[in-house]
Amino acid sequence: MKKHWHELAAGEVERLLSSNASAGLTSLEADKQLAVHGFNELKEKPRETLWQKFVNQFKDFLVLILIAASLISVLVGEVTDSIVIIAIVLLNALLGVFQEAKAEKALAALKEMTAPNSKVLRDGEITIIPSKLLVPGDVVLLEAGDYIPGDLRFIESHNVKVQEASLTGESVPVEKSTDPVGSTASLADRHNMGFMSTVVTYGRGKGIVVGTGMQTEIGKIAEMLQSVEEDSSPLQKKLAEFGKMLGVLCLFVCALVFGLGVYSGYSDGVLEMAEVQLMLMTSISLAVAAIPEGLPTVVTIVLALGMQRMAKKNSIMKKLHAVETLGSISVICSDKTGTLTQNQMTVVKAFTLERMIDLSGEGYDPKGEFFRDGSTVDLSEEQDLAFLLKGSSLCNDAQLKQASDTGAWHIVGDPTEGALVVAAAKGGYIQSKLTADYPRIQELPFDSTRKMMTTFHHMEGRDLAFTKGAPDILLSRCTHIAVNGSIHPLTPQERNSIAVANQEMASHALRVLAVAYRAWDSIPDAPNAAEVEEQLIFIGLLGMIDPPRLEVRDAVAVCRSAGIRPIMITGDHPDTALAIAKDLGIASQSSLAITGSQLDTLSPAELQQLVQTASVFARVSPEHKMAIIDALRSNGQIVAMTGDGVNDAPALKKADIGVAMGITGTDVTKETADMVVADDNFATIVSAVEEGRVIYANIRKFVYFLLSCNASEILVILFAILLGWPIPLLPIQLLWINLVTDAFPALALGVEKKEPNVMKLKPRNPAEPLLTWKLQVMIGIQSLAMAVTVLGAFKYGLYAYEGDLGVARTFAFITLITTQVICAFAARSEHYSVFQLGFFSNKYLNAGAALSLFLLLLSVYGPLHVIFKTIEPGLNEWLFLLALSPLPFLATELTKLVLRLSTKEDSQVTNSIAK
């Protein structure tokens, strides 16, 4: 092309792209274009290959220690030990690669689930498609809150304004038009173009896609940039630092063990090189066994698997750190519509002056009747009601659709507007016919500041503007009223009657919209809200209900028991909001709704005091939401905030966890949020909080298990040296124990099911250390019990078999593995006895324990026993060792009981088990 898209007239753009402004592309043509241009997505930096991932596993500080240990083993002639160390390093590396690949796959799946959609015209129908399937020639429909999915030429603009700061640097939104622009116009001056990844902040429009993917302006920038690497979560960083600190501590302890061992040998007067070599290899092997080199990797896979589980329950976590924060949530600030309610608005009452009419029917099915005082109403005799229904359907952007396969009715657009379309259809006024007979000529789109919308139509020889909006605001703009087809000035008594009717409907949890109109001599070319939405003629009120979701009542009760306070923050009428809040248990019967105008009169300190008790905020603006969150956080609360509109984005960003609605949420809120709720359901948020608590608890469990096992191995060697005994475990045996017990049971603990009391505990304090004092006590007692038990088995072997070190070391070897495997079951809970949970209820732990014990048998009875220098124990030996092995497990269970009783947890645990 010689000309740029912005130079061409809209019709010329249509012709060149073989598109149609009113029908869009055909599906066949769209498929052809997709084959030519590819997916509408930016190319990312090539991902690491499996080989690169494998090599990266050897860059960790702890792994370098292991490699150094292997080299030292070769130098001192212990080739077998060196091979075992390298085998462990390679196995950990392969496990790390597998876990990274799985986590990457999980995150890619989540990214796919959160990919934005586009509303386009295909085959003459409005269709919602994934934005990556967008092709040049597609006609895209846009409204406030939408991301522009590709570069496009506007062919229709109704007061459209676009925020382009990310691309052009313009600090204020740019108003868009459809007129051609000069060829030399800069990017910022191309007022008829929309650019990929910019945001529509106002109005409604239509554009033809002229560039996708890397052919867009943002794509040109992407070619010069590398994709931003995903940063580690705070927990991962904390664990990585913890692992390094532990590694250094282990090296120090192992050096101490070596020094004490050498000193002990030298005190006999003769220092043999073989003894020094044994102590060196023992210290090296102890370091290998004690260092939790796989800790950060295990955490990553547990978080990724947790995110997958949450996604299956409609909670899509966009950031790993959000999973950790969920466990600390103490307040959930929720919108009402669609989150606490079903988001299927149904008009149940209509009011024209002194006439209240009931409507039957539910949801979006356009079947229902009109009643007054129990009698059916004939709409041909209700001129005002008929006009009210027509006006509400015409001043409307929603569309009523019926699925071709199921026959189910649904709304494309706002549910509140959809309810008006359905109500009109019940009266026989089908929207498609109304818009064909009285097409929209001009409009003023709805925005959250005016809380009104106006459309212009030529109807029955007159130019009319229909306006709908909040009753209190719209009524203040009305000067006249239509009664039985005649118009007269609105009297104070009539204003009071309308206000009473509005109050009556709102008190029954109905959402009320008012409809008015105004006649014009000619429709203005550029309507101004300040002029158009004045001197209106009042027609009537429509009251609709969005019934509460049945599952929300139980979810609210769960919140209460978990120490989480639910708060409703809505733009709805205070009476409507309060009625729903009381019904769901969010507010008590004596509670009051706090309005935005009341908030304006409060100082920050007064608001901080108020939010400690208030549970319902109504008629609030985005600024009010920000102030409420600030006040809650100033009180030390950890806040989750839900939202769906563009104006909710700042509040979502301010909250500790921003939660966007997946169905009704705009692209802006989904991009800003930490979490997307696919079904717009409050109960799903509560379920996600529960899952977040479970994930964090499981991370603590396997950290506790790994540390107690590693500490026990150090204590066994250290105590033996201090007692002047021979070394109970050979280096190669220590390495094998580390491999057998650390890998499989630890991973199984990472997928432990939730404990009965997980939503009975208070929210976790974010400042709380990973290892609480209780866990530290349990680690100390369990590791000490394991060490004493292993040393007891070792000493018995020496005593009963006349100093045979082979037998004694085999006893210690078997006992340490079996005690650690059994103690893995005790690590399944910090609070409960494993017998309360069901000893074998974790099938993954059962399999991990079985595999560990199978490898133990291989190392004792199979060909491997030569390598590990073990003897084959008989039945009597096994009976003795199996009787000894559960002792550390019993000590751990007894410790739990004592801690429960000392901290008054026992009754809580018992009650939750009973329930």
Residues forming the active site: 335
Around 744, how many Cα atoms within 13 Å sit in the side-chain half-sphere?
22
Residue 121 vs residues 20, 129, 441: alpha-carbon distances, Å: 9, 10, 20
| 729 vs 16: CA distance, rounded Å | 80
Helices 550-561 and 682-722, interaxial angle, to 10°? 30
The dihedrals phi and psi of 218, each to the nearest 5 degrees, come to -70, -30
Q: How far apart are the first and last CA of the chain?
A: 73
Neighbours of 485 (CB within 10 A): 9
> Do 214 and 42 form a contact (C-beta atoms < 8 A)?
yes
| Helices of type H across 723-772 | 731-749
Torsion angle in degrees (nearest 10) through CA of 160, 161, 167, 172 = 170
> Do 708 and 771 form a contact (C-beta atoms < 8 A)?
no
| 156 vs 173: CA distance, rounded Å | 18
Residue 543 vs residues 18, 309, 345, 510, 573: alpha-carbon distances, Å: 45, 40, 10, 5, 12
> Do 388 and 581 form a contact (C-beta atoms < 8 A)?
no
Residue type, 18: S
| 214 vs 227: CA distance, rounded Å | 14
| 110 vs 314: CA distance, rounded Å | 11
Residue 280 vs residues 72, 645, 727: alpha-carbon distances, Å: 9, 65, 12
If DSSP codes are grouped into helix, strand and coil, which group holds residue 641? strand
Around 715, how many Cα atoms within 13 Å sit in the side-chain half-sphere?
21
If DSSP codes are grouped into helix, strand and coil, which group holds residue 312? helix
> Do 106 and 305 form a contact (C-beta atoms < 8 A)?
yes
Around 903, how many Cα atoms within 13 Å sit in the side-chain half-sphere?
13
